Structure formats: C-alpha cells, structure tokens
Structure 1
C-alpha cells in the first residue's frame, strides 16, 4: 500500500464523515434536547435530496436547487414538528419509534407517488466536475473537495452557534437538563421547533452534497440513518463535539475498511475466500468500533446528560 492510496482514502473518509456529521448533528440535538427517538430523520435527508434535484433540473442550476431544497426541507421539518411530532414528546420511546417509523413509511410512499420509483439524477456543478491535482501525479475530484469544504464550514458555524451565542447556550442547557432550562425561562417550545428546523436543513445539505455521488431514490434515508445513530451513540447523545468526532471516526473506519480489509484478505486467503470474507468483515467494522467505545465509555465519548 502506497502513500497516495492512503491519502486518497483519508480524504474519502473525511468527506463521508463530514456528511455523516451533518445528519448526526441534528439527530443528536433532537435526541438530546427533546429526548425523542426520531426515525423520520432519514426522510428529511431524502426529501431534501429530491427537492434539490427537482429544482436543479428545472432551473439548470445546482446552486438554486441547493438553496431552494434546503429551505424547503427546513420548512417541511418545522411543519412536521408543529403538527405531529410535538404530540410525541411526552410519550414513551416505544410510541416515538412507532410514530416516527409511520412518518418514514408515509414519506417514502409520498415521494414514490410524486417522483416515481426510479432514481432521479442530480448533477454536480459544471465548475466542479473535473479533478484537481493536489500533489504531483495525484488528482482528486473537485466536487469531493467542495463537499469537504462545505462540511468543515457548517461544522465551524455550528460550533460558533452552540458555544458563542445565547441560542447555543439554551440548546446546551436543554441538552444537559431540559427541566432546569425550562425553569430558567427558556422558551422550550420555540427552541424545539428551531432545533428541528435546523436539523432538517442540515439533512438537506447532506442530501444535496451526496446526491451526485449516490442515487437519489426512495428509501435512501434508511441506511444512512443507521450510521447517524451509530455516530451519536459513539459521540454521546446531545453532544455536537461528540457527533463531530464520532462522524470522523465512522467515516474513516468505514471508508478505509472497505478498501484496505479486502486487500489484506487478498494477501492472506484464496481469491474465492477473500471475495466473500473481505466485504463482510469491512461492513461490521463500524459496529465493532461502537462496541469498543461503549465498553470503555458506556455513555459515549462526550456525553451531556448527567
């Protein structure tokens, strides 16, 4: 294995981890502040990607599609919270799981009715369609570098928002102790709605960024939602810092594992055995990572709950 391959896989892991962070940040805030398990979070990612792809195709502009899709997904998330999810806050977790799973199924079928069952295409901006030479002889897709830049910019924005503003103070207080935040005068109802809207917008950004790389299709949110839950369990429920570190770990381990583990098995086993064992082991690495973290830190790396 040469240094170029290692550098390339590190960039791929960073890019994937930052997109996972956008999904996990909203999910961990909803879970940490509202104490709510929201299985419909992946549907916001799917709806955002479809809105972005539709507007981009209609206007022939990726940027207009991204802006309109993010705004539309945020509005959809706010309406969802005000009309349905607000009634689930005081219910037990089983009721929340069943209720949000029903929303997930309804979103899937609604998207299927509107856009059809076939995947739709979301093309990256023409200016970012080519490669960039990072070092002599090594070219990396410009769009993937753009994704890394967007992810880092959003992560920095969230850090400033959460740690340097009054709203962020209320969010952190709500994540640490919701009852005490309410007793201190925080408008918890408005805070919940704002957090849910921000989480929906982050999902849409992730959907728009990953849409040109992955298929924009019905049910696309389910598989990535599982990874988002793994991220917040590793990082600690309610912790933005934990979500960021957990996303980086999951992104790097998942990306590197799918490339390096099959190479290791190819050198140790026969071709037939390696072709089946390599991908199987690579697919469970992130769950092994989660189990290892929970063994030493049962509440995650940076828990906020007392």
Structure 2
C-alpha cells in the first residue's frame, strides 16, 4: 500500500502564487463587510421600528438582512485576520463548520430571494388575493421551511464531504473552506460527491432562478397592460433584484460546477468572494436607497427619535 499521512488540519491559501492580494484584504473586503453590516442593520432597524413596513415583503426583507449579516460574517473577518496575522491553520472541525454555514446561508439566501419575487408577483398580479395568500402564517411557514430545508441541505453536503479521506496535501486553495476545494485534496473516489453537487446545484439554483424570472415576466406583462401606468417603477426595482440574483447564482454555480481539479485558483477565489460578499452588500442598496417607502420610514424614525429627545 502507498504511504500517506491523514490530514488533521488544513491550511487556507491567502493568495495564489505570484499574486499580492493585500489590496483586497485591507481595503475592498473590510469596506464591503462594514457596508454590508451597516446597510443590513439599517434595514432591520427600520423595518422593525416603523409599523407601516410590517408587511410580508418587509418581513422577508428583514429576515434576508439578518441572514446577510451572518453570511458575510462567516468568511470575511476570519480571512482578513488570518491574512494580517499570517495564521493560515484551520482545524477539521472549523473547516466543516465553515462549509456547513456557507452552504446553509447560500441556500436560504436564494430561497428568500425567490419568495420575495413571488411576493411581488402576488402583490401586482393578484392584488385582491394578496392578503389571503401572503398571510402571516404563510410567511412564517415559508421562513421556517427555508431554514429547516437549508439545515438538511447543508448537512447532507457537509457530511458527504467529510466522509472522504484526505491525505498528502492539506493546503485548501481558497480563502475559506468550501466543498470544491476539499474535493481536490481527497484521496477517495469523489464521483458521487460531484454528481450530488451537480444535481443539487442545478435543482436549487435553476429552480429558484426559474421562479424569479417567471414572477418578473408576469409582473412586467401585467404592468405593461395597465393603461396610463408607467412601468418605470416596476423596472427600477425588479431589474436590480434580477441582477443581484444573476450575479449570486452565476458566481456560485461557477464555483460549484466547475471540475475542481482543473479550476483556476485565482478565478475560483474571486468567484467565491463575489457570491459570499456582493449580495449582502448590494441588497440593502437596492431595497433602501431605491425604495421610497424605506426612505420615508427612515425619515419618520429619525424625526420620532429627535422629538422624543426634546
């Protein structure tokens, strides 16, 4: 039998050979992280404090903001600290936890985005049935279903990855632990892992994207049929949402569906940074700066605070 050493810890790769990533780790990543935290915290505060925003749409938006704060906190702070201190070591348990949390947050993120697109479809295309369909019980059930199915989805992929044997190299070609990078280090047969990864990504990503696109197609066709109604508002809200979903899905699919042994390290790391950081950073901008209701609510909350101090 060939000699090999079982892996007891992993070493994260801060940057590919020949590339200096200091600019990203000291400026871009921290700025995006702080921006994502502040933007999502603002949405959570406003949608909680202002009673006019206690609607299904803003219920899911608040949950999405909480999720985004968790999502961006899983990888960015640890990555920046590791790069600053030079400590690249992560335990097997820590690596498994990171994989589980990243997959869980990514899954629930796309579920929430799909539900929010469906919510807009019902509000615009079936306004009379909106209170009946999007009732509080339905909203809570959809949220719990997304969270519970996300736990199962993440658990299956994490368990299926760590049932493999890892030997020889322990260098993870990524700034955080993810499934494709670990599959490159395995000395076991990874065929079933690749099939599961491919099928589940296509079903979840493709199904969610199909729901979102079909919802917006119906929204656009309904708005265009209404006489004397400018479609600009619907387009200005829906198109940025579609762009964020497209960026999220294309980057995550690019990471998880490319053959891991042949993937370019730098491209793999940049695509991973996009799907873990860009949606949490852009979502608050789309739903606050471009949303008159949210801006009015911010104004009301600030005025209330000022008057209460007087």
Do they fold alike, i.e. is TM over 0.5?
no
Compute the TM-score of the two structures, normalised by the length of structure 1.
0.30
Pick 1 or 2: higher relative contact order, CA cutoff 8 A, min separation 6: 1
Q: Which has the larger radius of gyration?
A: 2
